[in-house]
Amino acid sequence: AQSVTQPDIHITVSEGASLELRCNYSYGATPYLFWYVQSPGQGLQLLLKYFSGDTLVQGIKGFEAEFKRSQSSFNLRKPSVHWSDAAEYFCAVVTSGTYKYIFGTGTRLKVLA
Amino acid sequence: SAVISQKPSRDICQRGTSLTIQCQVDSQVTMMFWYRQQPGQSLTLIATANQGSEATYESGFVIDKFPISRPNLTFSTLTVSNMSPEDSSIYLCSVEETDGAQYFGPGTRLLVL
């Protein structure tokens, strides 16, 4: 069965520091991959998506993610974190040809001033 | 992307009662989805709501507990029936757009006493 693992439940970084959030998936073929952000009291906002092609994907708010097939990973990165990036981040995978999203358990990001 | 709204944004209900949540989209979409996010948890798909047909429920969710309507291509409702405290969650609707990604509404925060 497909699964998505976000190994880090909580991450704390200082404002201005770089950020990497990990996401690993379990699936035989290449899935479609997504990162969403959920700010407190808000719904989910799509940061970026990967379907095929260039394995380095640029998203909104200065985020990027890199698909690494050999590691079954799709890690999210940002070179310099802002205090407004404090939120919960969810990685999701969907099997090509279906619509069912499987979400990771989320990583809660705290940003220190 | 489509603009998605949900009503109510939050509610406090007594056990044994029912609540109907509305999801409105500003453009016509084929696929609409309902998710539950229990406190501190990730998202779980409840069902897929397609216009003109009965909703398709995921394992662990039944129509008697979560009846869904989809009268047209811009609107859907989810009812949480005979509520118990365990139903306290955030309920989110989403739509699949032509880019293949799902976009989410702001969510309905439900507390059952």
What confidence tens digit (pLDDT) does each residue in A60-92 have?
A: 999 999 999 999 999 999 999 999 999 999 999
**Looking at CA atoms only, how far is residue A18 from chain B in angstroms?**
25
User: CA nearest B22: which of B68, B57, B54?
Assistant: B68
User: Distance (Å) from the C-alpha of residue B78 to the closest C-alpha of chain A?
Assistant: 17
Residue B12 predicted with pLDDT over 70: yes
Taking CB atoms and an 8 Å limit, are A34 and B101 in contact across chains? yes
Contacts of B102 in chain A (CB under 8 A): 34, 46, 99, 101
Contact between residue A49 and residue A57 where contact means Cβ atoms under 8 Å apart: yes
pLDDT attached to residue B50? 85
Distance from CA of B20 to the nearest CA of A (A): 18
Nearest one of B33, B23, B19 to B96, comparing CA atoms: B33
With bands split at pLDDT 50, 70 and 90, how would you rate the model's confidence at B1? confident
Instruction: Tell me if A72 sits within 8 A of A91, measured CB to CB.
Output: no
Q: Which of B42, B44, B107 sits opposite A104 (nearest CB)?
A: B42
Query: What pLDDT shows up at residue A112?
Result: 96
What mean pLDDT is predicted for residues B10-15? Answer: 97
Q: Spell out, as residue ranges, where chain A has pLDDT lower than 70.
A: 28, 96-97
